[in-house]
Amino acid sequence: MQKVVFFVGVAGTGKTTVAEKVVKEIPAAFLDRDTVGGRFVEAFLKKEGLDPDDRDSGYYKENLRDLEYDATKDICIENIRVGQNVFMISPFTSELKSNQWMEALLSEAGKTKADVDVKVVVVTLDDIDQQKSRIEGRGTERDTWKLENWTSYENRVNFVPEINWDISDENILIFDNSGDLTDKKVKSVVDFIQR
């Protein structure tokens, strides 16, 4: 059965890394929202004289956030329509809250839940220090705000988003990515997706 898997979680939990390991076992279109929209968002922000790495300001959230997510969604719809498995990587916080978002995505692709197995992997960390270390280690300018405002950001480390989609609880995995990402841990995610 065709698979659409959402890897969600806050920055530094390792959702992209987990998805990269799993896609080696389950071939899929790999759609990281940062990659899909990053260059466009940077260009818009520069044009407005703003920090091209900003993803936290009111300006970004009001003018560019939905553009990035919608572009990623459009590519997802196209891949679902032609029968590809799809991995979607991003927090998707607002989208998960909308009980109509997933239904609309499948409908636009000409599919239903009878055709497509939708799963959500919520990547979390029990270790706040590891999260900060991972964010520092990747060294992207985009994380500057998070690191400079760490005390207000850190309470989100173990964050599990509200999921209002009409999918079974069995299709949602809360995955603690603390410590090393071992082959055994990757296999547990692969098994969850394939069942």
Quick one: tokens of 92? 């998707």
What region does 92 belong to: left with phi over 0, alpha with psi -120 to 50, or beta?
left
Rounded to two decimals, the pTM is 0.86
* pLDDT value at residue 147: 61
Q: Is the pLDDT of residue 158 over 60?
A: no
117: exposed, middle or buried (C-beta count within 10 Å: 0-12, 13-18, 19+)? Answer: middle
* pLDDT value at residue 179: 84
* pLDDT value at residue 56: 79
Coil/strand/helix, residue 29 = strand
Q: What is the pLDDT of residues 45-98, one digit of tens each?
A: 999 999 888 887 889 999 999 999 999 999 999 999 999 999 999 999 899 999
* pLDDT value at residue 91: 92
* pLDDT value at residue 161: 86
CA distances from 114 to 4, 50, 84, 106, 131 (A): 12, 45, 15, 10, 37
* pLDDT value at residue 51: 87
> What residues pair up with 124 in beta bridges, in sequence order?
176
Distance between CA 53 and CA 72 in Å, rounded? 19
Q: What is the pLDDT of residues 26-38, one digit of tens each?
A: 999 999 999 999 9
Q: What average pLDDT does range 117-134 have in this prediction?
A: 80
DSSP string, 1-18: -EEEEEEE--TTS-HHHH
Residue-level length of the chain: 195
* pLDDT value at residue 26: 98
Q: Is the pLDDT of residue 132 over 80?
A: no
Q: What average pLDDT does range 160-174 have in this prediction?
A: 94
